[in-house]
Structure 1
């Protein structure tokens, strides 16, 4: 799910309205997945109550935090460069404290403090409530670390502030952790076992967002389709639940319906889905409620059954294709996006061709494609040799990208001449005279501003397109 954040937002400095009584300043940057950005909002909320206001000026910060990603080596190298920058500023301002949050903190743990000595505190994804205690340790001159993974922490009782928001769209976390042990992925090791958040707290957060003018939310989780609330505990312990707990359990389909009904005028999105856990009742719920957006991010990673098995993906190519067929049958207008990894260990040309053939079958609307990067601590990192040469990885990746561009263009062209409902989110990056928003299918649309405003739903006639963007003109407000 790490790709649902726009690349331009990586490393974004997060800001909220200052509190007059606060005297200290927090500089916080986030990298990686949407969950990290959501977590940074939780951290800011906790630290606001500890006397911190956020700042965009690194040099004036009393506390500098970077919320980190370990999904690929490139992400970690980017964060290390930022830590070098922080420490250069710290030499000028010795009172500044530097901390690492999130998945990289969880993966490297005390190495940051003991070997590299480049930070003052290290905080894992489940330990943000311990930040006040950890800051006390730092202020007493001691290194501070808490990377204990929790079996029940969901932060459902923390009301997150909204950082650098457009006031229109927001993330709402519904699960934490992951039980799927994909061999290429660090998430189960950095975020722990999967647990779901109380649906009542989710609905309360959504209702509060609506009251504050938000028009769209994205339900977040490493694997939203495996959401299961039965009164507490890990998903893996559900079999031990009482008959009453089982009878009143809320799965993802039920949660999606509760959210759609709670705020029928608010758009509902979700990410990320896992093919092995996505059930057709979710798709049927999407078809039932107009305010649930017609887009499913459905990563497969490879089109080869042999590679899927090596990845420990709990589904086959054929099962995935059957799911796609059923989605298109139930929701003909549904956009489907993907994640693909090129050059996974032992991948052959035949395996690569299976991926390209699968892409031709699905014809994804858009996708996120990467060359395999070995991650220390994963099953693949420990047990599999990274044996596909870089040149071959790059060539295969480019072929995947080329295929996606062709399919994406077909999808955007199909919109030309159609009228699409668009939620206005911001001014277009390319012109101050145009608005930018998205369709239900998550496609970006730009059109002249005229008298319309941010946060309004507008019907736009699509006149032309690029590979990824629709260009049109507003024809009136959407009902």
Structure 2
């Protein structure tokens, strides 16, 4: 059960991952996780808090709570919303993230905990997979497009500065042109900050591999994937461009692999919205600074460090 055992951490990292729930009870038709990792099992809240307190003592300022269906967490005493508040209250922890939540289990009290707890970052990865009702049913996702749309509306109304990301699969079993167009249209409507996008690939041992026909030609899968990638790149570019002229809070992670035009070293960190931000001025890792944004791409913000007053 891993209680009392601390995983090895990268000592030069600013973020530490803390597993709070293992396994999955959802049994999506394309996914192998429930078969190889078993049913959902939540670690006791006191054990999670012990790990987080240890991390804070070691100097980590940010933790990410991890689980295949992280917001399904419940140890019998503490639910996920309560756990978020308790983790955020640990002295020394200034940022709390979590991934990946499952839309069906996203409750009003979790939304409230995100909105009311300063340390919980306004960043959320909320897998959609498809904008087609028929495809969601075939995937056994357990929610409808209307339910997902309403959840996004509630989240954005309660957390106005929320950055929302997602997962999209193209070419799943039986996906028609109309199904794909519904996904494309929903992505245009909801305007995610970014997305992980994949073409469907059959996984041995899943329900889909055993009982469903992988009937979409590879060329069609690739073409549909390319279309959603191009759409999302443009949406991400537009959203990030809105940050030009603003100042963002950045937790510095260190030296960037990206060099300035003159070849000089640059540095980077992440905003509460998990936006990678690159700047020229050398700042030690694990510091929280303000950066004035003067340029953006679909993936990155660029700017200059604002001197403290």
Q: Structure 1: 5+ residue runs without aligned partners?
A: 1-152, 231-248
Match of 2:165 among 323, 337, 345: 337
Is the 8 Å Cα contact of residues 15 and 60 (structure 2) preserved in structure 1?
Answer: yes
* 1:217–1:268 CA contact under 8 A, matched in 2: yes
CA contact (8 A) 1:264 1:291 kept: no
Cα deviations across residues 373-409 of structure 1 (Å, max 9, x unaligned)? 1011111110001000000000000011111101111
Match of 1:471 among 271, 292, 302: 302
- Among residues 211, 224, 228, which one is paired with 1:396 in the alignment? 224
Contact 1:298–1:337 (8 Å) recurs in 2? yes
Whole-Å separation in 2 of the counterparts to 1:278 and 1:264: 27
For each residue in 1:178-201, what CA deviation from the matched residue of structure 2 results, as whole angstroms up to 9, or x when unmatched? 000100000000110101001111
The aligned counterpart of 1:205 is: 51
CA distance in structure 2 between the aligned counterparts of 1:265 and 1:382, rounded to whole angstroms: 45
**CA–CA separation in structure 1 for the residues paired with 2:196 and 2:190:** 15
1:88-237 alignment runs, 5 A limit: 153=1, 155-163=2-10, 165-230=11-76
Q: Deviations over 1:36-88 (max 9, x none)?
A: xxxxxxxxxxxxxxxxxxxxxxxxxxxxxxxxxxxxxxxxxxxxxxxxxxxxx
Give the alignment's Cα RMSD to 1 decimal.
1.2
| Residues 1:266 and 2:94 are matched in the alignment | yes
Matches within 5 A, 1:10-159: 153=1, 155-159=2-6
Q: Does 1:319 align with 2:147?
A: yes
Measured in 1, the distance between the counterparts of 2:290 and 2:41 equals: 39
How many residues in Structure 1 have an aligned counterpart in Structure 2? 305
Partners of 2:101 and 2:8 lie apart in 1 by 26
Q: Does 1:292 align with 2:123?
A: no
- Mapped to 1, the partners of 2:112 and 2:167 lie a distance apart of 24
- Following superposition, the deviation at residue 280 of structure 1 comes to 2.1
- Could you tell me how far 1:435 is from its partner in structure 2? 1.2
Q: Is the 8 A contact 1:465 1:471 kept in 2?
A: yes
Q: 1:444 aligns with which of 267, 273, 276?
A: 276
Structure 1: how far apart are the matches of 2:3 and 2:132?
39
User: What TM-score results when the alignment is normalised by the length of structure 2?
Assistant: 0.96
Give the drift of 1:311. 0.2
Moved over 3 A (4+): none
Normalization by structure 1: what TM-score? 0.62
How big is the shift at 1:159? 1.4
Matched, 1:282 2:110: yes
Superposition deviation, residue 456 in structure 1: 0.3
Counterparts of 2:177 and 2:91, CA distance in 1: 49
SS in 2 for 1:473: strand
**5+ unaligned residues in a row in structure 2: which ranges?**
none
1:272: how far off?
0.2
Alpha-carbon distance, 1:477 to partner: 4.7
Quote the Cα distance in structure 1 between the aligned partners of 2:254 and 2:195: 23
Distance (Å, rounded) in 1 between the aligned partners of 2:247 and 2:91 = 24
Question: 1:18 is matched with which residue?
Answer: none
The alpha-carbon distance between structure 1 residues 269 and 286, as it changes in their structure 2 partners (threshold 3 A), is same
The 8 Å contact of residues 293 and 304 in structure 2, kept in 1 or not, is answered as: yes
Match of residue 457, structure 1, among 269, 288, 295? 288
Question: Shift of residue 345 of structure 1?
Answer: 0.5
Shift of 1:433: 2.5
Q: What secondary structure does 1:435 align onto? A: strand
Query: Over alpha carbons, which structure has the higher Rg?
Result: 1
Q: Distance in 2 between matches of 1:477 and 1:308?
A: 49
CA shift for structure 1 position 265: 4.3
Question: How many Å apart are 1:162 and its aligned residue?
Answer: 1.0
Per-residue deviation at 1:448?
Answer: 1.5
Aligned residues of 1:457 and 1:477 also touching (Cα < 8 A) = no
Q: Counterparts of 1:423-438 in structure 2 under 5 Å? A: 423-431=251-259, 433-438=265-270
